[in-house]
Amino acid sequence: MSKAESENDGVKNGTISVIDGDKRIYYYGYWIRHYEPPAETLSAKKNLIAGLTRRTFHHTESGINTPGENLDLARRFYEQADNDEEKRVSGAMLAGALFNRATDIFTTIVDLEDKGVHISTENELMKECSECLEEAMELGKMVRHISGVEGIDELWGEPLKAFAMPLHQFYVTRYVKISLTMRDIDQIIERLRGCLSGYPLFDEFWTVLDNISHYAKLNSETIKRDPHWFEIWPKFVTNSEKVDSLIGQIHEDQGIEMTPVIAEGCKLIETAKNLITYISGARVPMPDTTRRFFETCDNFQLRFNSTDGNDNDE
């Protein structure tokens, strides 16, 4: 469970403590569920990279999970693309092929190691694996989140980091990103509350939205093989569904008489809920989308809140 930074003055990043029976590690104002990194072996790296690659494709746009055996074909179409829009998509597909080629190579290397065949880091296969990951990370700037709104470089670069870093160091980078994700979830709810707290019609949302924030942060810190996740995810989903139901009820009750401030308020709530879902699932911040949401909040307050809660659409 996260705790506000003001409650942890003097706590150093990386501090590990048992809180409410759970082992947690502190980074930038948040106590995050702690997991011991696996042993520093090629087999552990293989499993981690494979899992990170699957998760990366799950949270990014469809159609880019290109098999490694199609790498040359993907590169040819990328190089031949004759407009910027298609070149971006082809570049994303090439990045996917490079990631899958690297995973194929690394899996083969680990299989050989398991059979007693030692592969040096200077081996051509190891070099090609590294080069594929590096190029995939560079092309990853063209890859968009599944929402289609922005790129998600932080997530896309994780398999390369897992390949290049000691596993304990990689886990530290994950805790930092999770703490920043939790920070953004808190800020999204805070900004939303600042926009809508003066409108009684939205009062019923706050308990549900606070629940969404709470379970989203738990979701961001909990790996799916952890038994805790099976308790957390249903609560997050059901609270998200309650938000949808409350918005639907407002639309039904207000009908054609719905005022601009109520309509825009409902849109703000839905946007906040979706953004929290995206970043808690990816476990990395989405700065561009979050910044645009904050700008929308600013515009809402300029348009409506300057009249002390009265609708002013002039």
Structure confidence by residue, pLDDT tens digits, 11-30: 999 999 999 999 999 999 99
Residue 24, helix vs strand vs coil: strand
Task: State in Å, rounded, how far the first CA of the chain is from the last one.
Answer: 44
Instruction: Examine the domain organization and report whether 248 and 223 are in the same domain.
Output: yes
Instruction: Examine the domain organization and report whether 297 and 183 are in the same domain.
Output: yes
Q: Report which residue type is found at 199.
A: Y
Instruction: Examine the domain organization and report whether 57 and 126 are in the same domain.
Output: yes
What mean pLDDT do residues 146-160 have?
77
* Domain boundary residue, one of 141, 164, 187: 164
Instruction: Examine the domain organization and report whether 191 and 299 are in the same domain.
Output: yes
* Domain boundary residue, one of 134, 164, 194: 164
Mean pLDDT of the chain: 89
Give tens-digit pLDDT for 269-288: 999 999 999 999 989 998 98
Q: Is residue 174 part of a domain?
A: no
Instruction: Examine the domain organization and report whether 61 and 88 are in the same domain.
Output: yes
Q: How many domains does the chain have?
A: 2
Instruction: Examine the domain organization and report whether 183 and 303 are in the same domain.
Output: yes
Q: Is residue 172 part of a domain?
A: no
Instruction: Examine the domain organization and report whether 270 and 191 are in the same domain.
Output: yes
Residue 9 confidence (pLDDT)? 64
Instruction: Examine the domain organization and report whether 195 and 115 are in the same domain.
Output: no
For residue 2, is pLDDT > 60? no
Q: Is residue 186 part of a domain?
A: yes
Q: Is residue 143 part of a domain?
A: yes
Instruction: Examine the domain organization and report whether 70 and 188 are in the same domain.
Output: no
Q: Check residue 201 and report its DSSP letter.
A: G
Q: Report which residue type is found at 293.
A: F
Instruction: Examine the domain organization and report whether 152 and 197 are in the same domain.
Output: no
Instruction: Examine the domain organization and report whether 231 and 113 are in the same domain.
Output: no
Residue 309 confidence (pLDDT)? 44
62-76 burial, b if ≥16 CB within 10 A, otherwise e?
Answer: eebbbebebbeebbe
Range of the domain at 129: 42-164
Q: Is residue 36 part of a domain?
A: no
Top mean pLDDT of 97-106, 149-158, 237-246 is at 237-246
The helix-helix angle for 167-196 and 205-221 (nearest 10°) equals 170
Q: Is residue 34 part of a domain?
A: no
238-261 burial, b if ≥16 CB within 10 A, otherwise e?
Answer: ebbebbeebbeebeeeeeeeeeeb
For residue 311, is pLDDT > 60? no
Q: Is residue 198 part of a domain?
A: yes
Q: Is residue 250 part of a domain?
A: yes
The rounded distance, in Å, linking the Cα atoms of 176 and 28 is: 8
CB 293 within 8 A of CB 272: yes
* Domain boundary residue, one of 110, 134, 164: 164
Instruction: Examine the domain organization and report whether 137 and 204 are in the same domain.
Output: no
Using 50, 70 and 90 to split pLDDT, how confident is the model at 222?
A: very high
Give tens-digit pLDDT for 80-118: 999 999 999 999 999 999 999 999 998 898 888 888 888
Using 50, 70 and 90 to split pLDDT, how confident is the model at 310?
A: very low
Strand 22-27 relative to strand 30-33: parallel, antiparallel, unpaired? antiparallel
